[in-house]
Chains A and B, each alone.
Chain A
Amino acid sequence: MSEISVRNFTKVFESQKSAESVSALENVSFEIPAGQFLCIIGPSGCGKSTLLHAVAGFVKGTSGEALQDGRPIGGPGPDRIVIFQEYGLFPWLTVSENVEFGLLAKGVAATERKQTVQRYLDLVKLGGSERRYPHELSGGMKQRVSIARALAPDPEVVLMDEPFAALDSLTRDVLQEEILRIWEATRKTFVLITHNIEEAIFLGDRVIVMTARPGRIKAQIDVGIARPRHPSIRTSHPDFLAIKEHLAQLLRTEIAREAA
């Protein structure tokens, strides 16, 4: 487990014409304690993906810094694995070869690799699909493979960039429950970007609300709902509904401000 700090992080995407430069993030600071499930929510184009990519190490800040356990994040690395919305599976590798990729990169021995692949495929309920290719799978199954691939090398931090946005709502609900179960079993540091309020509350220990562009932190809300959380809290738990209403109001003002 590992903690993440983001301090005074600002990102401006420079353009040759200075009038076209886009300020994506402005002076963003927050801490993620080790083992926390943090959800970041905001209107589209608020820079939340840029923020995740900064923690992943793909994006350097114009100013400010991102730290892991006190050390600056210099680039992408296997202790911070990203799960992408578009899965990023290798179409030429089978399901088990895809999951094996991170283990090969880590230099895990063949027998252990095989066992680990199997363990994580079972975890995401894909036992029996080992030899299939990604194009033979549904979107939900592809994202399951991507989750297994991310978890197999046992990373300290798992970063999810709107992982369920491309899925239908039923598949999305099921996968949220899977992710919740996996997090409760592993208690790693999870960061999830979403624009879905229910998803953020259902999964997160804490929800960060971003403003419309340029992205700043508008609010940080602790979700005090006890774990393990049952799927039914999405419709019945009074705290869930109260936080949902609160978040909806916060986001509504942001979207209205952006449109103005």
Chain B
Amino acid sequence: MKEAGGLAPSQQIAALSSLQGPAAGVSRLLSSWLAKLKHLILIPIIFLLWEIGVRLHWINGNVLPPPSATIHALIDLAEAGYLWQDIEASVLRVTIGFTLAAIAAVSLGLALGIWRSAAAYLLPVIELLRPISVLAWIPLAILWFGLGDHSAWFIIFLGSFFPIFTNTYLGARSVAPIHLQVAQCFGASKWLFLRRVMFPSALPYIVAGLRVGLGVGWTCVIAAELIAATSGLGYMIQLARTMIETEKVMAGMIVIGIIGFLMNSGMHWLERRLIPWNPDRH
């Protein structure tokens, strides 16, 4: 398997990085990147063992198709073009549902941070809604919005909303006492306090909430599509299940995993970029 050879270039780059000169900075960056990549080594090993297991008939290939068949199914789906359509449908849904949730949850979290008396009334309601699994909302979503995008947006919205809200509110309440005193001392208005003190104080929490919320949103879009949609990756694996095309189900799951992983990495990157004043990150 190709993946198994991954260490050799990494060793070459590591050797390069010891060279002096202007290229040293670039190669140091590459080698640190590859040093992180080496932590992914278990993934190809698992795939390899799995493949061998099926080939040697330790594992029933009808129940658990080997990676080669799964990758083959993936290539077929990609070549036929269905895969891209389904990815597009799912990503678009999660983008819309997540964006709406982010706007609502951040606004509400900050507003309740400012108006604590309103928070005292609203928080019990939110805490009562929060433990209800998003899956439990799907029947209601179908009754209200029918099958399709609106149901999916609603489900994703619900899934993303709570982690973003909880983090934002926690962040809004985490304003350091001395910063609160400084703002009071200068007679800052609520709006100035929100803009220049509370929001930046809460930002690290908000970004962490967005990252978790996007992850939950991504699991929700699949759940919604399994039941309440006629396109998307969730619909695709559900359809493959009815045809007993197990390798297509697996292929879809792998794509779901990879996209979720990329979204999470992207949010981590954003987290580091958005908070330039934090000395820990320099």
> Which residues of A line the B interface, CB within 8 A?
56, 58, 75-78, 80-82, 84, 86, 88, 90-93, 97, 101-102, 104-106, 133-135, 153
Given contacts A75-B184, A104-B192, A105-B192, contact A84 B277 (CB under 8 A): no
In the complex, A134→B184 CA distance in Å? 21
Pairwise interchain contact B187-A56, C-beta atoms closer than 8 A: no
**Residue among B182, B196, B203 having the largest count of chain A Cβ atoms under 10 Å:** B182
Q: Give chain B residues whose Cβ lies under 8 Å from the Cβ of A106.
A: 186-187
Pairwise interchain contact B200-A105, C-beta atoms closer than 8 A: no
In-complex Cβ contact of B196 among A77, A88, A93, A134 (8 A): A93
Q: Give chain B residues whose Cβ lies under 8 Å from the Cβ of A134.
A: 277
Q: Give chain A residues whose Cβ lies under 8 Å from the Cβ of B200.
A: 90, 92-93
A-B residue pair count with CB separations less than 8 angstroms = 66
Q: Chain B residue with minimal CB distance to A133?
A: B277
Q: Give chain B residues whose Cβ lies under 8 Å from the Cβ of A97.
A: 196
0/1 string, B167-190, CB within 8 A of A gives 1: 000000000001101111111110
Q: Give chain B residues whose Cβ lies under 8 Å from the Cβ of A78.
A: 185-187
In-complex Cβ contact of A102 among B186, B275, B277 (8 A): B186
Sample (24) of A-B pairs whose CB atoms are under 8 Å apart: A58-B184, A75-B184, A76-B181, A76-B185, A77-B187, A78-B185, A78-B186, A80-B185, A81-B185, A86-B178, A88-B178, A88-B179, A88-B182, A92-B201, A93-B200, A101-B188, A102-B186, A104-B196, A105-B186, A105-B187, A105-B192, A133-B276, A134-B277, A135-B277
Given contacts A78-B186, A104-B192, A105-B188, contact A91 B181 (CB under 8 A): no
Number of interface residues of B (CB under 8 A): 22
Q: Give chain B residues whose Cβ lies under 8 Å from the Cβ of A82.
A: 181-182, 185
Q: Give chain B residues whose Cβ lies under 8 Å from the Cβ of A91.
A: 277-278
In the complex, A104→B185 CA distance in Å? 13
- Taking the closest CB of chain A, its distance from the CB of B18, in whole angstroms, is 32
Interface residues of B in 85-116 (CB under 8 A from A): none
| CB of B279 closer than 8 Å to a CB of A | yes
| CB of B197 closer than 8 Å to a CB of A | yes
- Taking the closest CB of chain A, its distance from the CB of B279, in whole angstroms, is 4
Q: Chain A residue with minimal CB distance to B193?
A: A105
Q: Give chain A residues whose Cβ lies under 8 Å from the Cβ of B192.
A: 101, 104-105
In the complex, A102→B186 CA distance in Å? 5
Q: Give chain A residues whose Cβ lies under 8 Å from the Cβ of B186.
A: 78, 81, 101-102, 105-106, 153
Pairwise interchain contact B197-A88, C-beta atoms closer than 8 A: no
Q: Give chain A residues whose Cβ lies under 8 Å from the Cβ of B184.
A: 58, 75-76
Q: Give chain A residues whose Cβ lies under 8 Å from the Cβ of B276.
A: 133
Q: Give chain B residues whose Cβ lies under 8 Å from the Cβ of A81.
A: 185-186
In the complex, A139→B182 CA distance in Å? 18
Given contacts A133-B277, A135-B279, contact A90 B179 (CB under 8 A): yes
Pairwise interchain contact B277-A92, C-beta atoms closer than 8 A: yes
- Taking the closest CB of chain B, its distance from the CB of A73, in whole angstroms, is 12
Q: Give chain A residues whose Cβ lies under 8 Å from the Cβ of B185.
A: 56, 76-78, 80-82
In the complex, A88→B179 CA distance in Å? 6
- Taking the closest CB of chain A, its distance from the CB of B199, in whole angstroms, is 9
